Chains A and B, each alone.
Chain A
Amino acid sequence: MDFAPHTHDDDRAMLDTVGLDALSDLFEAIDPSLQLTRPLDVPPALDEVELLDHMARLAGRSLGPAELVCFAGGGSYDHHLPPVVKALAGRAEFATSYTPYQPELSQGVLQAIYEFQTLVCELYGMEVANASLYDGANALVEAVTLSMRTTKRSRVLVGASVHPHYVQVLRTYTSGLDLDVDIVPFGSDGVVDWSKVDATDAAAVACAYPNFFGRLEDLGTASSVAHDAGALSIAVTDPSAMGVLASPGALGADVAVGEGQGLGNPKSYGGPYVGLFATHLDHVRQVPGRIVGETVDADDRRAYVLTLQAREQHIRRAKATSNVCTNQTLMAIFASVYLGWLGPQGLQRLGEVCIRRTAFAAERLSEIPGCEIAFKGPHFKEIVLRIPGDARELERSLAERGFLAGPSLGRWWPELGDCLLVAVTERRTEEAIVGLAQALEKELAG
């Protein structure tokens, strides 16, 4: 099945108009010796009935939510997905539209982005946000390159408690640039002691708040240390925490970035997600990607347009603030509808439930003989559980018992090979937490 509507008669009439005999004549510019003389060796076409069956079989070969209770976190979270979010953000008028280059035909997406920008600013305590980036890692990269352009410096201090994948992506992205990525280690409590950090010559200091281990790290001190050295303070912040935790802006951050998946987007094996990026207005001309601004139309009606486009690749080319073009607008609209559904009180409730259930889980899991919470202190929705033995093995065997708990941390920090990162969202009930604890007890008892 293909989706071209051409009948045989259409083909004939159109070829006649063009003045060609056959469809193959359309490719006369391509040297015949280069052209394929065989069909592509790809799987054969399926009809719609076969395709649905095939996809259902493939989907069934993974362990879905019916088989595994999700306590996995590490940058992708099993938050509640209100049905209204997909019903609205998934509307084809949004989903099947292009980048809003023609504002008269794009007020829907443009206004939705403008609202998204406002929502992200509200969450993070900032003045300007963009129309989204690819994911949390990409947003951190863009914050760092912004700080390099702004300060004309080529060193960045990144807390070791930032998501390890984000740090890897930062290194990859900037490997062709003159940038030193210096990792600041965390202490035995799982947070960086920023008061002991010297940020001299740094373009930026990047602090995760809450950090990869769910710990509330001292962003305020990180910001002070950065500012004392003339560097920018970058916060990597989970937006779901913003109902109860002070905003990055209030704690002195100059740029706040984060992963917006938890705001109404499915986990979808890692994407499509949405990178959040917000800063203060004095940096607006260095912001990457698309920004929507308010204006008026020819009849003095309020209207929205893409603005400050001279920053962007299609105008500035080699000197653009970023190479980003296609972004994650649809996921941004998902986030906007979700935040509209939550409202301020819903966001507070979400934060409170996450924090209190996580505290309960910490208490219950550390009662298991041999187990302890590795990093003590205030947490948001994740904890690091130290277990006797190899956490990677345990991660697998817990999956067999119906629980997705992890990731195990040895893959990034060999010294934490006996540690599991456990996430507790508002979807995990007391019963589920107790169930995980009992499965763990059984597993450890052998």
Chain B
Amino acid sequence: MTKTQGSLERSAGTRNDGAGFPLVFELSRKGRRAWSLPEAKVDAPGLDELVPERFRRSEPPALPEISERDLVRHYTRLSQRNWAIDVGAYPLGSCSMKYNPKIAEEVAAMPGFAALHPLAPDDAVQGALELLGTLQEALCEATGMDAITMQPAAGAQGELTGLLIMRAFHEAKGDARRRVIIPDSAHGTNPASVSLAGYEAVEVRSDERGLVDVEALLDVLDENVAGLMLTNPNTLGLFERDIVRIATAVHEVGGLLYYDGANFNSIVGVVRPGDMGFDIVHLNLHKTFATPHGGGGPGSGPLAVSERLARFLPAPVLVYDKGAERWGWDHDRPDSIGRIHSFHGNFGINVRAYAYLRSLGPEGLRRVAERAVLNANYLRALIADAWPTKYPGICMHEFVASAKPLKQHGVRAMDVAKRLIDFGYHPPTVYFPLVVEEALMVEPTETESKETIDGLADALNQIAREAKEHPELLHDAPVTTPVRRPDEARAARRLTVRWTPD
């Protein structure tokens, strides 16, 4: 085995009785406490008088009763049982797990951002609105769009917002359309959002190049098509070369083009969705703009549109009064699809994205795309013999390898993923996209160094050899982690989704 790049704490806190790592509830001892809060200290009646019996709780919830020190050790040890960008490489395809700059955390915590109340009068939050306004303008410029909303909290919420705008656009013309076209390589959120927006998702297949089959697309394009959702580059890491032809065809039947920004990291500063013909764009700021993904969220999924769709954006819309030199929210938006978030979206994440943007500037942004694409192609070249990819040529920020040739040795993509863990790397995305059998979708991102990618390539090449010579090494993997191969079927069959006191 090559030198391990990183590993998790295996023993910390593991109990000797075999029960495994304790739950916070199992640390609880009646009467122990961490909390420190004031008494009411006001001249007011007691709870018995203020709260009628029928609303009173008889037993408080069974929250853990532990000391602050125990709380600290519990969560510190839990954190040590978790992979993270700050621990090691994380080449999950389509997730853009790049380094998250520390300065962004520091600035987002400034009281002038973190302590602002979302319903404060506009005059009291001018700095926040100025930040949002500048960020909005920069994101419109980067995408080639004209107007934007920062309300969507994540990509999927951006998708729904965009699809509802698509619906509003057609309905405003008295044009009830029913279908939205999606390539078979698309993320699952695309068809799910289409259904939620009340449209029917129609799948169009990829051709032998791994790109949208334009002839197949033309076959399904008609006056009933509201639009096409496209990730470009797509989830195979390939740029849709026919994008202009596709855009023209969709526009000719009166449809709109939706750009899923999941893979925007590979083209930022190089080419803009608006210039390709897209009408609606969502970005994932937790990908391209380096905000931390938090173990599954938060994200931020701003949604940008071209001029003709601006009036449909969710209300309220941020406006700048030049005369008064004042930012404010415009609620009077009669054509708006309505609100999509409780307040203004994931503002704290948008502050981080702004700090990242200001750190990089225009040249830095282009450098992101260049190094992201360089890293992917470099890794692909280093492993080309052992891991041939289906589609030749230069890829973009990611590529999809296949473990299919290893099937004859009884090895599956998941075995490869688990073995890679033992070499000190987080595995790539597996079994996606669905159009590649035994898919391993690899995205190094621009913040990994040549040395890290060299090490990852060595590991992948060695695993390919092991698969043939010692497949049991892959079947037994991982052997370096706190747990190995948890039984997922059992989890679903014997469903236990919360701790219960004995």
Please indicate whether A and B come from the same complex rather than being unrelated chains. yes
Beyond A62-B125, A284-B495, is A271–B295 a contact (Cβ under 8 Å)?
no
A90 to B104, CA, bound (A): 13
- CB of B286 within 8 A of CB of A326, answer yes
Residue in A13, A23, A95 with the greatest tally of chain B CB atoms within 10 Å? A95
CB distance from A208 to the nearest CB of B (A): 13
A88 to B241, CA, bound (A): 47
- CB of B188 within 8 A of CB of A325, answer yes
- CB of A340 within 8 A of CB of B128, answer no
Residues of A within 8 A of B123 (CB): 396, 399
CB distance from B217 to the nearest CB of A (A): 18
Q: Is A386 an interface residue (CB 8 A)?
A: no
- CB of B126 within 8 A of CB of A326, answer no
- CB of A337 within 8 A of CB of B71, answer yes
Beyond A244-B47, A322-B192, is A272–B141 a contact (Cβ under 8 Å)?
no
Beyond A123-B61, A128-B497, is A99–B107 a contact (Cβ under 8 Å)?
no
- CB of A106 within 8 A of CB of B198, answer no
Beyond A168-B338, A175-B338, is A6–B371 a contact (Cβ under 8 Å)?
yes
- CB of A317 within 8 A of CB of B347, answer no
A315 to B116, CA, bound (A): 39
- CB of A72 within 8 A of CB of B119, answer yes
The one of B50, B195, B450 that contacts A14, using a Cβ cutoff of 8 Å: B450
Residues of B within 8 A of A35 (CB): 270-271
Beyond A106-B83, A111-B21, is A290–B296 a contact (Cβ under 8 Å)?
yes
- CB of A340 within 8 A of CB of B51, answer no
The one of B43, B83, B193, B269 that contacts A102, using a Cβ cutoff of 8 Å: B83
The one of A17, A300, A404 that contacts B382, using a Cβ cutoff of 8 Å: A17
CB distance from B67 to the nearest CB of A (A): 10
- CB of A359 within 8 A of CB of B196, answer no
Interface of chain A residues 122 through 136 with chain B (CB within 8 A): 122-123, 127-129, 131-132, 134-136
- CB of B378 within 8 A of CB of A14, answer yes
Q: Is A243 an interface residue (CB 8 A)?
A: yes
A108 to B80, CA, bound (A): 7
CB distance from B418 to the nearest CB of A (A): 7
Q: Is B293 an interface residue (CB 8 A)?
A: yes
Beyond A36-B271, A61-B127, A326-B298, is A122–B66 a contact (Cβ under 8 Å)?
no
Residues of A within 8 A of B61 (CB): 119, 122-123, 242-243, 247, 344, 347
A254 to B98, CA, bound (A): 41
Q: Is B41 an interface residue (CB 8 A)?
A: yes
CB distance from A279 to the nearest CB of B (A): 11
Residue in B39, B58, B75, B84 with the greatest tally of chain A CB atoms within 10 Å? B75
- CB of A340 within 8 A of CB of B71, answer yes
A284 to B494, CA, bound (A): 13
Q: Is B492 an interface residue (CB 8 A)?
A: yes
Q: Is B377 an interface residue (CB 8 A)?
A: yes
Mask, A250-279, CB within 8 Å of B = 1, is 100000000100000011111111000000
Residues of A within 8 A of B270 (CB): 27, 30, 35-36
A297 to B479, CA, bound (A): 12
Beyond A269-B116, A291-B497, is A42–B141 a contact (Cβ under 8 Å)?
yes
Residues of B within 8 A of A105 (CB): 8, 82-83, 421, 426, 481
- CB of A339 within 8 A of CB of B63, answer yes
Determine, out of A193-201, A226-234, A305-313, A365-373, the stretch whose residues face the partner at the interface: A305-313
- CB of B113 within 8 A of CB of A23, answer no
CB distance from B229 to the nearest CB of A (A): 12
Interface of chain B residues 339 through 361 with chain A (CB within 8 A): 339-349, 355, 357-361
Residues of A within 8 A of B154 (CB): 134, 324-327
Residue in A123, A175, A272, A301 with the greatest tally of chain B CB atoms within 10 Å? A272
A177 to B197, CA, bound (A): 7
Determine, out of A45-53, A182-190, A435-443, the stretch whose residues face the partner at the interface: A45-53
CB distance from B336 to the nearest CB of A (A): 9
CB distance from A301 to the nearest CB of B (A): 5
Q: Is B40 an interface residue (CB 8 A)?
A: yes
Mask, A94-126, CB within 8 Å of B = 1, is 111111111111111101111101110111000
The prevalent SS among residues of B at the interface is loop
Q: Is B160 an interface residue (CB 8 A)?
A: yes
- CB of A345 within 8 A of CB of B364, answer no
Q: Is A384 an interface residue (CB 8 A)?
A: no
- CB of A216 within 8 A of CB of B51, answer yes
Residues of B within 8 A of A407 (CB): 119
CB distance from A62 to the nearest CB of B (A): 4
A216 to B343, CA, bound (A): 24
Q: Is A31 an interface residue (CB 8 A)?
A: yes
Q: Is B460 an interface residue (CB 8 A)?
A: no
Mask, B108-144, CB within 8 Å of A = 1, is 1111111111111101111110110010001001100
Q: Is B54 an interface residue (CB 8 A)?
A: yes
Residue in A43, A304, A352 with the greatest tally of chain B CB atoms within 10 Å? A43
- CB of B339 within 8 A of CB of A165, answer yes
Residue of A with least CB distance to B446: A4
- CB of A60 within 8 A of CB of B127, answer yes
Residues of A within 8 A of B340 (CB): 169, 172-173
A292 to B491, CA, bound (A): 9
A113 to B50, CA, bound (A): 35
- CB of B55 within 8 A of CB of A246, answer yes
Beyond A1-B364, A244-B57, is A303–B483 a contact (Cβ under 8 Å)?
yes
A244 to B313, CA, bound (A): 41
The one of B42, B116, B331 that contacts A430, using a Cβ cutoff of 8 Å: B42
Residue in A45, A166, A336 with the greatest tally of chain B CB atoms within 10 Å? A45
- CB of A319 within 8 A of CB of B71, answer no
Mask, A46-83, CB within 8 Å of B = 1, is 10100110111111111111101010101110101010
Q: Is A211 an interface residue (CB 8 A)?
A: no
CB distance from B443 to the nearest CB of A (A): 11
Residue in B47, B108, B117, B381 with the greatest tally of chain A CB atoms within 10 Å? B117
- CB of B35 within 8 A of CB of A345, answer yes
- CB of B153 within 8 A of CB of A271, answer yes
Q: Is A93 an interface residue (CB 8 A)?
A: yes
Q: Is B172 an interface residue (CB 8 A)?
A: no
A5 to B41, CA, bound (A): 57
Interface of chain A residues 207 through 244 with chain B (CB within 8 A): 216, 220, 242-244
A51 to B226, CA, bound (A): 43
Q: Is A416 an interface residue (CB 8 A)?
A: no
The one of B114, B360, B486 that contacts A297, using a Cβ cutoff of 8 Å: B486
Residue of B with least CB distance to A333: B295
Interface of chain A residues 11 through 55 with chain B (CB within 8 A): 11, 13-15, 17-20, 23, 25-31, 34-36, 39-46, 48, 51-52, 54-55
Name 18 interchain pairs, CB-CB below 8 A, sorted by A: A6-B371, A17-B381, A43-B134, A59-B107, A60-B127, A93-B82, A95-B295, A138-B157, A177-B198, A272-B297, A273-B343, A291-B497, A295-B494, A297-B486, A301-B483, A307-B497, A340-B75, A345-B33
Task: Give 13 A-B pairs besides A60-B112, A271-B346 with Cβ atoms closer than 8 angstroms.
Answer: A27-B373, A30-B241, A46-B358, A55-B107, A112-B295, A172-B338, A271-B348, A284-B495, A299-B483, A316-B188, A329-B295, A343-B34, A359-B44
- 6 closest Cβ pairs, A-B complex: A59-B112, A270-B343, A45-B361, A176-B198, A330-B294, A108-B82
